[in-house]
Structure 1
């Protein structure tokens, strides 16, 4: 009786540590999910606004109306299948960019994402090209353009000439995605040599509103050859961090977006990340060696600027086709990249096959279970053997209940004699842990999973389940705190785990029995804040496991008879 009380106390302490300590640990190491995009009120699904997505004049702290700022300077319009916006001819800045493929929210009338905004408006964020040197154009130079629209297959050349006769040109083109190419030309029409150093830059007024997390890094990023450095926002100083390289790039990553300056990969440059006295963040690529242009001659250099969504296939194509090293790692895959990317590509292929990412996750689960089927058969045989041993184990417990060391020795001897491995049942679950972690990273990292619906009220598989019985599925006029707002899908997960545990052999130790009895409901609370897509994977896996057990019982009736005995 004393031992049972001790076990119960230990179990209660363990349960409390898991239930209350896990949210603290997971908040840092395993961010649970993307913010919810919908909420249930009055039995209706309502869209949650996303105020950080578009810094308009209505945003708190707005400097001036964004539309007024855009109208103050001459501009060249941008229009491609993926992008809209304009180029500021004053300073040759790319400071107005809209991502056509992505909306702020899941609402049907939601505006698209505004990635770049001009100086003077809230959330100023822009990039550009230029030169250092005497007579070079500056931020106040107003350029002329050869066209009024920059589009796919429609490049535009910006040009200006100074009083000494030097002509500066920037020939801009853009591909079908998010890569701008700038061919910078200096033609010396004067009578004396000139010395210039071309540069490319990106500047943002404030750090990203997205949280910088252990599993989803956000902030300044620099690649030097094959080495990449992710800087914390607070690490950026006015003096700046400088990196010398020939093959590299620098920029800023948000959770789903990226701006990156990519210098000529044959020219030695200094990549610098710095913070101004006013708190603005900047990334710059400046040629290390000055270019001397003789009278009557010209110098040309080609650079690139990426501004857009971190789509997996797009970044992989840039890394492979353009030789931009590690730009695919702007998506923070981490150590499990070798497993995460194959899972993403297979999941994406399934999605294109069935048209629903939730169904694709279920098919992914089925694939994993089929691959693990031989191991699961051994697991099932071990479980059946353990069930058949229950009478003998209980007899040993009665015989050696006062001698715990002897009991352990006799039980191990029983396992050897009956050729049963009590740990075999854990192997399939252990093998699935890396898969589940990789899927978790895919769900929270890839923009392809953003705002992907499943069925009914589930409008985003990368966010938690918004429907909970705590407020009678939204009928009661209050929003429960996240700690108790257990959604319908997590409840189904707990039920599926409880049913699965009921089919497994009961452990001999009473404390283990208590742990297994409460574990499904504890995991229900633990998993509730995670992405619905991860819960769908786990539920499907549990259902397939139970179906597999039923099928194996039909194929091997002797196992069922042994279990019954």
Structure 2
């Protein structure tokens, strides 16, 4: 199956944003060794994709809320079918189907962005000034040459950490400059990838479902580690896309988690109630909570008659009324 439609779509978005920044007056020539119109075109490629995928992101959050609410039932099934993995998986899938929850929904936005990533990766790899054919998915020769010579701090956006001497020669770039810029960007890419997963797990907690927990561990540790190797073959423009996408995700998740906080589980609710007196005490400058009024002291008991004593008639002990 041909992927040309993806390459044409990515190229169209890039060229549209590049033309927009040129129209606004962003300098075409390098400033501080950077062609900002092309860098901004890549950044706003991210913005365009994320705006399109925002409804999917909302569904992802709702699915995660549903999965979190099902954790007590999942734990019950794990206790009930301990040692019977096949029955446990069947019961959990039935529970997810009944409650309309999808444990893989958390990865859907990332999977939908893979074609965009591959399209940009393929397009930037073909930005070789030494090529005789410079018509690239609707690009003009002038646009091709402009993008092929675009730089970030003197490092071509088509260059990569693992570029060969021949590739660097055709790009007219210094190997040391490309390695420094690409190396810094790869480090930022790994750190922000880890932080996006960590941010969500800290807010929602680790899943009880082994399958979902495995996905969480893959997102938190597996993907950042894999970037140590794969980052060396990514063009600098692709790494700019990835870092921008991670920063966008961090901001979007923070906004959603504040606006729609995760539901408190029984355990977290009890912890919050336990910690509440400490938070509301005088150390934070707040007035302590009003205490319940002290109980009214009980009336003193009247001593009974001594053993052997004659019982007293209460009527006789009263004083006689005075005559008027």
1:406 equivalent to 2:87? Answer yes
Give SS of 1:487's match: helix
Q: Per the alignment, do residues 491 and 399 of structure 1 end up closer, same or farther by CA in structure 2, a change over 3 Å counting?
A: farther
- Displacement of 1:514 in angstroms is 4.6
- Displacement of 1:523 in angstroms is 2.5
Q: In structure 1, what is the equivalent of residue 250 of structure 2?
A: 546
Distance in 2 (alpha carbons) for counterparts of 1:513 and 1:550:
18
- Displacement of 1:511 in angstroms is 5.2
Q: Per the alignment, do residues 546 and 562 of structure 1 end up closer, same or farther by CA in structure 2, a change over 3 Å counting?
A: farther
Q: In structure 2, what is the equivalent of residue 338 of structure 1?
A: 5
CA contact (8 A) 1:465 1:489 kept: no
1:373 equivalent to 2:76? Answer no
- Displacement of 1:547 in angstroms is 1.9
Deviation per CA, 1:105-133: give whole Å up to 9, x if none. xxxxxxxxxxxxxxxxxxxxxxxxxxxxx
Distance in 2 (alpha carbons) for counterparts of 1:490 and 1:521:
11
1:453 to 142, 147, 151: 151
Deviation per CA, 1:373-421: give whole Å up to 9, x if none. 1111101111222233334434433442311011102211221343211
Q: Per the alignment, do residues 370 and 539 of structure 1 end up closer, same or farther by CA in structure 2, a change over 3 Å counting?
A: same
Deviation per CA, 1:311-356: give whole Å up to 9, x if none. xxxxxxxxxxxxxxxxxxxxxxx93222212322321232233342
Distance in 2 (alpha carbons) for counterparts of 1:391 and 1:499:
27
1:350 equivalent to 2:17? Answer yes
- Displacement of 1:441 in angstroms is 1.7
Q: In structure 1, what is the equivalent of residue 231 of structure 2?
A: 527
Q: Per the alignment, do residues 542 and 401 of structure 1 end up closer, same or farther by CA in structure 2, a change over 3 Å counting?
A: farther
TM-score (norm 1): 0.34
Distance in 2 (alpha carbons) for counterparts of 1:340 and 1:534:
14
Q: Per the alignment, do residues 495 and 465 of structure 1 end up closer, same or farther by CA in structure 2, a change over 3 Å counting?
A: same
2:218 to 515, 520, 523: 515
Distance in 1 (alpha carbons) for counterparts of 2:256 and 2:216:
25
In angstroms, what is the RMSD of aligned CA positions?
3.0
CA contact (8 A) 1:453 1:459 kept: yes
Deviation per CA, 1:143-195: give whole Å up to 9, x if none. xxxxxxxxxxxxxxxxxxxxxxxxxxxxxxxxxxxxxxxxxxxxxxxxxxxxx
Deviation per CA, 1:190-238: give whole Å up to 9, x if none. xxxxxxxxxxxxxxxxxxxxxxxxxxxxxxxxxxxxxxxxxxxxxxxxx
Q: Per the alignment, do residues 513 and 340 of structure 1 end up closer, same or farther by CA in structure 2, a change over 3 Å counting?
A: closer
Distance in 2 (alpha carbons) for counterparts of 1:495 and 1:421:
28
Q: Per the alignment, do residues 385 and 528 of structure 1 end up closer, same or farther by CA in structure 2, a change over 3 Å counting?
A: farther
Q: In structure 2, what is the equivalent of residue 442 of structure 1?
A: 123
CA contact (8 A) 1:493 1:535 kept: yes
CA contact (8 A) 2:43 2:244 kept: yes
Q: How does 1:168-179 map to 2 (within 5 A)?
A: none
CA contact (8 A) 1:376 1:428 kept: yes
Q: In structure 2, what is the equivalent of residue 389 of structure 1?
A: 70
Q: Per the alignment, do residues 495 and 541 of structure 1 end up closer, same or farther by CA in structure 2, a change over 3 Å counting?
A: same
CA contact (8 A) 1:493 1:524 kept: no
Give SS of 2:102's match: coil
Q: How many residues of Structure 1 are paired with residues of Structure 2 in the alignment?
A: 214
Distance in 2 (alpha carbons) for counterparts of 1:342 and 1:515:
30
CA contact (8 A) 1:443 1:533 kept: yes
CA contact (8 A) 2:160 2:234 kept: yes
Distance in 1 (alpha carbons) for counterparts of 2:264 and 2:237:
38
Deviation per CA, 1:245-289: give whole Å up to 9, x if none. xxxxxxxxxxxxxxxxxxxxxxxxxxxxxxxxxxxxxxxxxxxxx
Distance in 2 (alpha carbons) for counterparts of 1:486 and 1:453:
12
CA contact (8 A) 1:490 1:525 kept: no
- Displacement of 1:530 in angstroms is 0.9
CA contact (8 A) 2:77 2:91 kept: yes
Distance in 1 (alpha carbons) for counterparts of 2:113 and 2:228:
18
Name the structure where strand makes up a greater proportion of residues. 1
Q: How does 1:289-304 map to 2 (within 5 A)?
A: none
Q: Which has the higher contact order (CA 8 A, sep 6+)?
A: 2
Structure 2 residue runs without a partner (length 5+):
27-35, 128-143, 163-175, 270-324
Distance in 2 (alpha carbons) for counterparts of 1:544 and 1:494:
15
